[in-house]
Each structure stands twice: as structure tokens, then as C-alpha cells.
Amino acid sequence: MVRDDCIFCKIANGSIPAATLYEDDDFRVILDAGPASRGHALILPKQHYQDLCQLDEAVGAKVLGLAAKIGRAMKSGLGCAGFNLVQNNGEAAGQTVKHFHMHIIPRYEGGPEMVAWKPGSADAEESAEIVGEVTAHL
């Protein structure tokens, strides 16, 4: 399904132009309009899925392989030292566009700085509780 009111549906299917690194039957990979680093890209499925929880499994199974292909090309072509894959689900997690997308963010020696979380601590009792709370829903 493609939605008329979704900017990423429009970009993925070519009705709004975007700098495109790659395209096939299922995906378009574009440069992010507000890049965190030089070459920051987004993998967009051509069909509309709100987030990872709604993503078709067969489409989802192709995402990591495509990210690896783009990441390898970034290392060779842009000379980045590495890259991060970032994928936000839900507003609380920072998702601003409600069409599944995977960020591929090149990382260069010396920058850019990326937000990192402060490690907390885990105790055995709470870990057991968490295991119960999640596995009850699998």
C-alpha cells in the first residue's frame, strides 16, 4: 500500500525527487535532508509500513543486506571509517516520519560526535522481571 499523505511514500515511489543512491523493486535509498554526517542516507521501502512492528517480514529480511551494500559503498566511496544503522520506532524513540526507514550514518575519524547513552546497572531480580514481562508477549 502507498499512502497519498505520506512524504516517504512519495519520495520512495519517485513522485517527489530526492538524491538517490540506490533503487530496486522494493526500496529507494536516499540522502537525508538533514544529514548527521556527510553521506547520511535513508533506506525507504516503496510500500508504506508505519514502523518495524508493521513491516512485512519478507521486505524486512532484505533491509540488513541492503544496509551492508550501501555501507560498503560508503566506506569505499566516501572514505568513512565506519557507519551506524539507526532505526527509530515511535515518537518516544525519536521517529518523526511515520514510514519505516533505516538510517545509515557514515562515521569518520574524529567525528561527528553521536549521542551515546549512559550505561546504567542491571540487577538479577529486575532482569528476571523484565524477561517475564517481555517473553509473555512473544
18 near ligand 5GP, rule: CB under 6 A: yes
Nearest distance, CB of residue 42 and Zn ion, angstroms: 12
Gyration radius of the chain's alpha carbons: 17
76 near ligand 5GP, rule: CB under 6 A: no
Q: Are 81 and 108 in contact (CB under 8 A)?
A: yes
Q: Which of 17, 19, 75 is nearest to 42 (CA)?
A: 19
Q: What are 85's strand-pairing partners?
A: 104
65 near ligand 5GP, rule: CB under 6 A: no
Helix runs in the chain, H state only: 7-12, 57-78, 124-135
- Give the other-Cβ count within 10 Å of 107's Cβ: 16
Q: Are 83 and 107 in contact (CB under 8 A)?
A: yes
The nearer residue to ligand 5GP, 114 or 130, going by C-beta atoms, is 114
Q: Are 48 and 2 in contact (CB under 8 A)?
A: yes
Among 99, 101, 103, 137, the active-site one is 101
Nearest distance, CB of residue 99 and ligand 5GP, angstroms: 8
6 near Zn ion, rule: CB under 5 A: yes
The nearer residue to Zn ion, 48 or 103, going by C-beta atoms, is 48
Please report, as residue ranges, which positions from 99 to 138 form the binding site for ligand 5GP (by CB under 6 A).
none
In total, the chain counts a number of residues equal to: 138
Is 40 one of the annotated active-site residues of the chain?
no
The nearer residue to ligand 5GP, 2 or 130, going by C-beta atoms, is 2
Q: Active-site positions?
A: 101
List contacts with ligand 5GP (CB under 6 A): 7, 18, 30, 32-34, 42, 88, 94-97
